[in-house]
A and B are shown apart, each in its own frame.
Chain A
Amino acid sequence: DADVTQTPRNRITKTGKRIMLECSQTKGHDRMYWYRQDPGLGLRLIYYSFDVKDINKGEISDGYSVSRQAQAKFSLSLESAIPNQTALYFCATSDSQTGSYEQYFGPGTRLTVT
């Protein structure tokens, strides 16, 4: 089984709809991240969480919210989806105890907003 899973893998939704993307991990890592990937722009950080009670905005948090329901679960919500939120979304985890800074990525969720 994959260590970092994302659901759904693909989603098409309409403008104005609320949508939630979910991320779960079995790695036991304390830190979790949400990125979006757009062609030619690389990965940009949306939100990150250092533990269940510590959630922080990244560089492009407008229009998004997150919830860290447990150490292993980190959800990303689009309250009212708009077409320019069409992108590939990745969840990632890291372990602060190792000091390695290495992040482990899920397979991604491809979101299309029409």
Chain B
Amino acid sequence: AQSVTQPDIHITVSEGASLELRCNYSYGATPYLFWYVQSPGQGLQLLLKYFSGDTLVQGIKGFEAEFKRSQSSFNLRKPSVHWSDAAEYFCAVGARGGGNKLTFGTGTQLKVEL
């Protein structure tokens, strides 16, 4: 079965600084990978996804993520953080042939200092 680890529970960055949120997965083949964001009191919104092809994927709100097979990682990055990016971020993995089921990480809470 697949699993996801988000090693950072909380991260604080200053507005305008760069951001990297870590995600490591465990799966025997090439997985489907996702990053979702949850703003306070809201549901989850998809930021970006990786299925195949180019390992650097672009998403909404200026986010990008890079799939590194050798490191089993799919880290989320943003060059310049805005105060509105403060939210909880979840990495998720789906197994090919797994019927659209996703396994989520425990989340990283991002705080942005002005």
Chain A residues with CB under 8 Å of chain B are 4, 31, 33, 35, 40-45, 48, 50, 58, 90, 92, 94, 96, 100-108
Q: Give the segment of B12-20, B64-72, B74-82, B97-105 that binds chain A.
A: B97-105
Lowest 9 A-B CB distances belong to which pairs?
Answer: A105-B43, A42-B106, A43-B104, A105-B44, A101-B94, A42-B104, A94-B100, A107-B43, A101-B32
- Is B25 in contact with chain A by the CB < 8 A criterion? no
Whether the pair B43, A100 counts as a contact (CB closer than 8 A) is: no
**Measured CA separation A14–B49 after assembly (Å):** 40
- Is B11 in contact with chain A by the CB < 8 A criterion? no
Whether the pair B43, A42 counts as a contact (CB closer than 8 A) is: no
**Measured CA separation A55–B42 after assembly (Å):** 27
**Measured CA separation A107–B40 after assembly (Å):** 11
Whether the pair B102, A42 counts as a contact (CB closer than 8 A) is: no
10 pairs of residues in contact across A and B, judged by CB atoms under 8 Å: A40-B106, A44-B104, A45-B101, A48-B101, A50-B99, A90-B43, A94-B100, A96-B99, A101-B100, A107-B43
| Chain A residues, CB < 8 A from B105 | 42
| Chain B residues, CB < 8 A from A48 | 99, 101
| Chain A residues, CB < 8 A from B34 | 101-102
Q: How far is the CB of A34 from chain B (nearest CB, A)?
A: 12
Extra 19 A-B pairs, beta carbons < 8 Å, given A41-B106, A43-B90: A4-B43, A31-B99, A31-B100, A40-B9, A42-B6, A42-B90, A42-B105, A90-B44, A92-B44, A100-B49, A101-B32, A101-B34, A101-B100, A101-B102, A102-B34, A103-B46, A103-B100, A103-B102, A108-B43
| Chain B residues, CB < 8 A from A45 | 101-103
Residue of A nearest to B94 (CB): A101
**Measured CA separation A48–B101 after assembly (Å):** 8
| Chain B residues, CB < 8 A from A40 | 9, 106-107
Q: How far is the CB of B71 from chain A (nearest CB, A)?
A: 21
| Chain B residues, CB < 8 A from A107 | 42-43
| Chain A residues, CB < 8 A from B83 | none
| Chain B residues, CB < 8 A from A108 | 42-43
